[in-house]
Amino acid sequence: MARPPLDGTILVTGASSGIGRALARLLAQRAETLVLVARRRDRLQALAEELRAARPALKVSVKCCDLADPAAATQLAEEVESELGTVDVLVNNAGLGDFELFEHARFEKLERMIQVNVLALTRLTHHFLPRMLLRARGGILNVSSGLGLTFLPGLAAYGATKHYVTAFSESLRLELHGTGVVVSQLCPGPIATEFLELSGNPTGRAVPSALELSAERCAELALKGFARGRALIVPGFLMKLVLGLGRLTPRFMLRIFYRWIGGYLRRRRQ
Ligand SMILES: NC(=O)c1ccc[n+]([C@@H]2O[C@H](COP(=O)([O-])OP(=O)(O)OC[C@H]3O[C@@H](n4cnc5c(N)ncnc54)[C@H](OP(=O)(O)O)[C@@H]3O)[C@@H](O)[C@H]2O)c1
């Protein structure tokens, strides 16, 4: 099984917070060069300083980019390639969610979500993959979600973006079999980051603490699976169990259960 070259140049999107920042900290122990991408420059610069201080041999490049802007995403890819030649590993982690009944969602937010979760991930992969193939060496870690493997009311558009990431990653992995380029996808359950706060939570209930992992633990398990070239990484035993049971349950039974949740969300909204 192909393994990603984690000692080369690695680009991490969404490195200013949460899972991306935790992944960057771990990757910094092995990479030659790290490229940190997100919008919040101050956070990226602080992380870059921290990483350089911990390992002076590491080269760190900070790239501020709004990945919801297609032109900016293309410019980022071109800039990185002209400055660094290529990237050996691409971590498509940046993403946002929207937890809301669909008709109440702000369309502008949905549009940005699709741009970042789907289009930017596709654009960056399309840009960097040919060079990886030429060198017969590379790795792509796409951050999907447990929702890429199932569905839930209140998360119609977000879930759909993650179904895209899952289908894209699985298919691309098969296309690339035997080329030296490995594609893995990470499908986490709830992770304690800024994500849940930014997504909104119309249930009025906290995430069950037994299901929630820290960003650090999620990143640790993600990297362990990616380093081994795993196709699908679901961090945490309980989440593996929940998703496994969900996949074994007939769809009509899931619909009955989830319909109840949909009704609950609607009653709360009213
Ligand atoms: N947390 C969870 O429960 C959970 C569960 C399953 C999957 N995920 C997935 O995990 C990934 C990381 O999320 P997280 O939990 O670490 O959330 P987070 O703490 O909110 O981090 C999201 C990252 O994405 C970046 N980002 C968002 N919009 C961007 C834009 N327009 N341009 C550039 N960067 C942008 C943010 O940086 P700036 O704001 O600085 O731009 C930030 O670094 C996402 O793809 C998410 O869908 C999360």
Q: Is residue 169 part of a domain?
A: yes
What is the percent of the chain with per-residue pLDDT over 90, rounded to a whole number? 94
Average pLDDT rounded to a whole number, residues 212-223 = 98
Q: Is residue 36 part of a domain?
A: yes
Cβ-based burial of 131 (10 A; exposed 0-12, middle 13-18, buried ≥19)? middle
pLDDT of 123 > 90? The answer is yes
Instruction: Indicate the number of domains in the chain.
Output: 1
Write the CA distances from 42 to 17, 99, 141, 245, integer angstroms: 12, 28, 25, 42
Check if 196 has its Cβ closer than 6 Å to any atom of ligand 1. yes
Ligand 1 atom 46, closest CA: 95
Q: Is residue 145 part of a domain?
A: yes
Hey, what amino acid is at 153?
P
Average pLDDT rounded to a whole number, residues 161-183 = 98
What per-residue confidence (pLDDT) applies to 181? 98
Q: Is residue 199 part of a domain?
A: yes
Q: Is residue 2 part of a domain?
A: no
Q: Is residue 96 part of a domain?
A: yes
- Assign 218 a pLDDT band (cuts: 50, 70, 90): very high
Hey, what amino acid is at 138?
G
What is the CATH classification number for the domain harbouring 83?
3.40.50.720
In which domain, by residue range, is 38 found?
Answer: 9-269
pLDDT of 1 > 80? The answer is no
CB 120 within 8 A of CB 94: yes
What per-residue confidence (pLDDT) applies to 205? 87
Reported for 254-261, long-range contacts at CB under 8 A and 24+ positions apart, including other chains, are: 254/150, 254/151, 258/151, 258/152, 258/153, 259/153, 261/152, 261/153, 261/154
Q: Is residue 1 part of a domain?
A: no
Check if 93 has its Cβ closer than 6 Å to any atom of ligand 1. yes
Average pLDDT rounded to a whole number, residues 154-176 = 98
Distance between Cα 18 and ligand 1 center (Å): 7
What is the percent of the chain with per-residue pLDDT over 70, rounded to a whole number? 100
Check if 19 has its Cβ closer than 6 Å to any atom of ligand 1. yes
Beta strands 59-64; 33-38: pairing state: parallel
Chain segment 23-36, per-residue pLDDT in tens: 999 999 999 999 99
Q: Is residue 228 part of a domain?
A: yes
Higher pLDDT, 85 or 9: 9
158 is known as an active-site residue: yes
